[in-house]
Chain A
Amino acid sequence: MKRKLRPTTRKSFVTYAIVTAAFIFVEILVSSGSASNMFKGLLVPFCVYSIAAVSLNLTVGILGELSLGQAGFMCIGAYSSAIFSCAVKDTITSPWVRFPIAMLLGGLVAAVFGILIGIPVLRLRGDYLAIVTLAFGEIIKNVLAALFIGSDSKGLHFSLTSQGDLGLEPDGKMIINGALGISGTPKDSTFEIGFVVLMLTLIVLYNFINSRTGRAVMSIRDNRIAAESIGLNITKYKLITFGLTAFLGGVAGSLFSHNLAVLQASKFDYNLSILILVFVVLGGIGSIRGSVIAAVVLTYLPEVLRSINNYRMLIYSIVLIVMMIFTSNATIRGFFAANLAKLKGIVSKDKTAVKEGN
């Protein structure tokens, strides 16, 4: 009595299996000492970018709205969680307690910002979300880069001009040091934690997409008027989806900030937002598995090809254009689909042959 899995469920389990296999493979590499330092340094970023990409795919692929501000949400998550961890690192010493709270907090703060932006913008039709999120990301980055916060026995001090303006007591300590950012965040991020968070993200996303809510969101993408005609509250479902994207973006940012000795807002610039969008587009819009693979490959490649790093953005744009041509051209797509089917046919024939051989 074997219960047959639904195709959507099977798809999600294949993704879980791929990610888990990759995790185990990397763990073996690392423990056997055959991984380079450069590779080890990339392990947490793999998870960070994968989470950021799959969550952006929720808005771009499932909801069908363009967001150019994923770096902004990551930035908010990174800062709020880092401030939290710095503030409590003497009182809560166990990273197992501190870090999950910090990530949750980073996600929640990002989600609040996402919803605040979404309430006015998602009511509109058209590309307004792209424009507003683009501006939002830049504003967040620039405000945080100019922000000074310090604390001393008198409490918290804020300034938007310089460190001297804070008027800190001699015993005071800096929390955010303007463009120099936050230093002294505990290094709580590890590859293992990143893997767990990525798996949780994937489970949440697959369940969301295959739920009643997910169907509703996809129906809005497919046809707005029809979605309205069946009684969907369009704004509500758009907000839920965008809020979830912002939340997971914030979690990715938290993971990121706890991996760095110094956290600077300038890292979360427009290029990062576009980079994450590139992961989504290259991995296939709407394909969760594709986003993870694209994020990992495109984070790894530039590091391997250090020597041509100057041309990285150039190569990205060319690859992006080529992908666009490939995915929108019916003839080319048909060619690949046909050959893929043939390939699958050969593989399954082989399998049956093996079975018959038994």
Chain B
Amino acid sequence: MAMLEIKDLCVNYGMIKALKGISFEVNEGEVIALIGANGAGKTTTLHTLTGILPAKSGSVRFNGVELTKTPAHKIVKMGIAHVPEGRRIFQQLTVLDNLKLGAFTRNDKDGIAEDMEMVYKRFPRLAERKSQIAGTLSGGEQQMLAMGRALMSRPKIIVMDEPSMGLSPILVSEIFDIITSIRKDGTTVLLVEQNAKKALSISDRAYVLETGKITLSGKASDLINDEQVKKAYLGE
């Protein structure tokens, strides 16, 4: 059984149909990429499965448990962490407070301290800026903080929304290296990206989303050579 199973999911914004029945699955230990152009419904998909948006119909199952009727704060507790688009960090709080808040759903003090060490090890720059106000960090550091914060909930799966957005090429590579290392440590990753080339290069499988429907899917290594994908998303 797949870890995360999405079936015939439909989501509306009022009259507008944002998702018109999409189905996909994520198995434990995989890195799955969801690629597509602006307005394809990638962020909508993530927001629905983390409970921020309500689903019109269809199902989202996580380890067999239905999520579409579960409130957002309970979904995090079940082991799904969300790195929202556009580095949504808590601007006026310190880096440390941001990370502490990431572990909000947990009560194990020792485990939290352990994970804090792990995050600082993974992102040494955050350790240097521990007591700095998060809004004063650079774009790349803010993205790292958002990722570190998500890891603090010790998730089984981490869903990331456009982690490379607005970052310099060097930082983009750094972020993708971190995603690979997160996966290596045993956390499943669902990645939404516009940077299709980079996303495909680090993921196992991928789905291509177009105006609310999945039009292509398969192994990332196959899709990267697919003529259609090349033309539409890789700019070749």
Contacts and interface: CB of A to CB of B under 8 A. Distances in A.
A248 to B, nearest CB: 23
B73 A232 contact: yes
Contacts of A215: 93, 97, 100-101
A219 B93 contact: yes
A27 to B, nearest CB: 38
10 contacts: A212-B100, A219-B93, A222-B89, A222-B91, A230-B104, A230-B105, A230-B153, A231-B77, A231-B104, A233-B71
A225 B89 CA distance: 10
B73, B91, B92 pick with most chain A CB within 10 angstroms = B73
B102 A218 contact: no
Contact of B105 (A219, A227, A231): A231
A232 B75 CA distance: 10
A222 B93 contact: yes
Given A215-B101, A225-B84, A226-B84, A231 B76 contact: yes
User: Does more than half of chain A's interface fall in helix, strand or loop, or is it mixed?
Assistant: helix
Interface string A211-242: 01001101101110111111111100000000
Contacts of A223: 88-91
Given A230-B149, A231-B73, A218 B93 contact: yes
A222, A223, A227, A229 pick with most chain B CB within 10 angstroms = A229
B209 interface: no
A233 B75 CA distance: 11
Contact of A218 (B50, B51, B71, B92): B92
B82 A229 contact: yes
A233 B100 CA distance: 16
Contacts of A231: 72-77, 104-105, 153
Interface string B136-159: 000000000010011001000000
A5 to B, nearest CB: 14
B104 to A, nearest CB: 5
A228 B104 CA distance: 11
Given A215-B97, A215-B101, A219-B101, A230 B76 contact: yes
Interface of B: 50-52, 71-77, 81-84, 88-93, 97, 100-102, 104-105, 146, 149-150, 153
Nearest to B72: A228
Given A215-B101, A229-B84, A230-B101, 17 more contacts: A212-B104, A218-B92, A219-B93, A222-B90, A222-B91, A222-B92, A225-B88, A226-B146, A229-B72, A229-B81, A230-B104, A231-B73, A231-B105, A231-B153, A232-B73, A232-B101, A233-B73
B52 A228 contact: yes
A230 B77 CA distance: 9
A48 to B, nearest CB: 30
A28 B113 CA distance: 51
Given A229-B82, A229-B150, A231-B105, A218 B72 contact: no
A231 B101 CA distance: 9
Contacts of A228: 50-52, 72-73
A10 to B, nearest CB: 14
Contacts of A233: 71, 73
Contacts of A222: 89-93
A230 B76 CA distance: 6
Contacts of A232: 73, 101, 104
A-B pairs, top 10 by smallest CB distance, nearest first, are A231-B76, A226-B88, A229-B82, A222-B90, A231-B105, A233-B73, A228-B72, A219-B90, A231-B73, A223-B88
A227 B51 CA distance: 12
A286 B36 CA distance: 42
A216, A221, A227 pick with most chain B CB within 10 angstroms = A227
A233 B77 CA distance: 11
B88 A216 contact: no
Contacts of B101: 215-216, 219, 227, 230, 232
A224 to B, nearest CB: 9
A219 to B, nearest CB: 5
B142 to A, nearest CB: 11
Nearest to A224: B88
Contact of B88 (A212, A218, A221, A229): A229
Contacts of A219: 90, 93, 101
A230 B105 CA distance: 8
A317 B81 CA distance: 46
B154 to A, nearest CB: 12
A216 B84 contact: no
B82 to A, nearest CB: 4
Nearest to B88: A226
Contacts of A218: 90, 92-93
B52 A229 contact: yes
A215 B95 CA distance: 12
A231 B103 CA distance: 9
Interface string A280-293: 00000000000000
Contacts of B97: 215
Contacts of A227: 90, 101
Contacts of B105: 230-231
Contacts of B76: 229-231
A230 B93 contact: no
Contact of A225 (B52, B71, B153): B52
A31 B199 CA distance: 76
B8 to A, nearest CB: 25
